[in-house]
A and B are shown apart, each in its own frame.
Chain A
């Protein structure tokens, strides 16, 4: 389990991470979602002690990362697959990790097999690797100590569709065996397909967090009628709670089918009836739009 409590990181006047708190729970995949430059990578670097937090703490299973005696056995970390010495072979990079951690040499070949790097590929220098191969090597480095917690920054970057599928299955399997997985992405879809819990960050602040079910599917219904007050009263009598939105329509957590049926029985003519956009997607598009100079998206 990873517990992030009130983590803030300032660079002069700029606040890269602003009072971020969340928990990545055991046996679940937690997606850390946000547009580029939102503070995901800084938060992850703070988690593993590469960057100091201005304030706040991160604990992994109750201990600070830098206090773990041999952290590679407890936490697997992949922050940037390209951050490797270009003149070293893939196999040597794994051997270095294996030796730092004091693991048996056979772990190197096991990991190469897990991430589907062939012996020929492993004996090439990383400078000649594609981004996808570097990601696989990075995953192998993260997994080599058989940790219970995985912290992965944009692990799907550069993977082909088959690779993305492979990664997803691997992370799911890891969580199902009782591991804790935290992975970041700037792509909503990527997080949506693999995460159980979602933490969304924008401009250094957490804007939303919860289970995927809560955030993506509890969006409810938008309904309009010629006379909204009548509709609201009628639905209220049937026990359907609604609220008047700023846009001049009614919002409800109830299913569109139920509301349509209720309106029909009450004899109220509807002018519009549709499922509400997922709140998370709206927020994400809004965040992405503000961080894009063109202001194009959404």
Chain B
């Protein structure tokens, strides 16, 4: 084996300055796709959107073959998968110990976390665009196949609500990734927060009158549920509830997690 002389980068042309955030975002986006698990997670959004659309065409009653039915059917798999993408984008730096290289190349950890947050949101918006497109195709296809009238019962504003709701779900996952920094723990916590906690809150609200009024201000899922219905606009109070629950369940724990991330030892 021969030692090959290391070829030098031409020092005259290189400028040694901080990596711009756009570059870091670009790299973080690439890192979400270039692992086997990351690739299949993102691919599974497209796959499950297709399956859900197929399911609606096959089994939904003819009267319900409207665009909102398609969009709602696609929501469930996507709301599960998107936060996983955000969780793994953060936790893999610790679970897979890739952070040893990442935080050595970019020592300012808050920039990495910011770039990951932005690239996760970019993926979420792209995924929503895809699901709306698949839903639209499904709607067209079902109208053609079943001969029912084509119904577009979703406005652009409602689509934007929907995207906002998805982005908030994804950010909950992201927050848990930052706070817990271990893949399994963060995923379990996400499912508890999204599926177990609302059930408990629901039971509590059913049995305790005082909690029934308080619930929209405490239960983030309940507060956000208005974003996912296609039949009416949100009231000012509902927006306030989204903000309040967002601060308590999203921003506050995220701030705690960020403080830990920037101080914690990377091993």
Q: Which residues of A contact B (CB under 8 A)?
A: 45, 48-52, 65-66, 68-74, 77, 79-80, 82-89, 92-93, 95-97, 99-103, 107, 110, 113-114, 116, 125, 141, 143, 145-146, 162-163, 165-166, 169-170, 173-174
A146: B residues at CB distance < 8 A: 6, 8-9, 11
> How many angstroms between the C-alpha atoms of A173 and B99 in the bound complex?
29
Give the size category of B's interface with A: 35 or more
B23 engages A71 (CB within 8 Å): no
A102: B residues at CB distance < 8 A: 19, 23
Q: Which of B1, B18, B26, B37 contacts A166 (CB 8 A)?
A: B1
- With A50-B265, A88-B35, A163-B1 given, is the CB distance from A65 to B101 under 8 Å? no
A99 engages B4 (CB within 8 Å): no
* Shortest Cβ distance from A165 into B: residue: B1
Known: A50-B103, A80-B97, A93-B101. 4 other contacts (CB 8 A): A51-B266, A77-B101, A173-B3, A173-B6
CB distance from B170 to the nearest CB of A (A): 21
- With A85-B92, A86-B96, A146-B8 given, is the CB distance from A72 to B105 under 8 Å? yes
B9 engages A82 (CB within 8 Å): no
Q: Which of B5, B97, B104 contacts A82 (CB 8 A)?
A: B97
* Shortest Cβ distance from A65 into B: residue: B107
A170: B residues at CB distance < 8 A: 3, 6
> How many angstroms between the C-alpha atoms of A165 and B2 in the bound complex?
9
Q: Which residues of B contact A (CB under 8 A)?
A: 1-9, 11, 14, 16-19, 23-24, 26-27, 30-31, 34-38, 92, 96-108, 263, 265-267
- With A70-B19, A146-B8, A165-B1 given, is the CB distance from A77 to B26 under 8 Å? no
* Shortest Cβ distance from A174 into B: residue: B6
> How many angstroms between the C-alpha atoms of A97 and B35 in the bound complex?
15
* Shortest Cβ distance from A151 into B: residue: B104
> How many angstroms between the C-alpha atoms of A79 and B16 in the bound complex?
23
Q: Which of A85, A96, A114, A116 contacts B7 (CB 8 A)?
A: A114
CB distance from B114 to the nearest CB of A (A): 15
A114 engages B23 (CB within 8 Å): no
B5 engages A50 (CB within 8 Å): no
CB distance from B259 to the nearest CB of A (A): 14
23 contacts between A and B (CB under 8 A): A50-B100, A50-B103, A50-B265, A65-B107, A71-B107, A72-B104, A72-B105, A77-B104, A82-B97, A83-B98, A83-B100, A84-B96, A85-B96, A87-B36, A88-B31, A89-B34, A100-B24, A101-B19, A107-B9, A146-B6, A146-B9, A169-B3, A173-B5
* Shortest Cβ distance from B27 into A: residue: A99
B104 engages A84 (CB within 8 Å): no
B35 engages A100 (CB within 8 Å): no
Q: Which of B7, B18, B108 has the most CB of A within 10 A?
A: B7
A66: B residues at CB distance < 8 A: 107-108
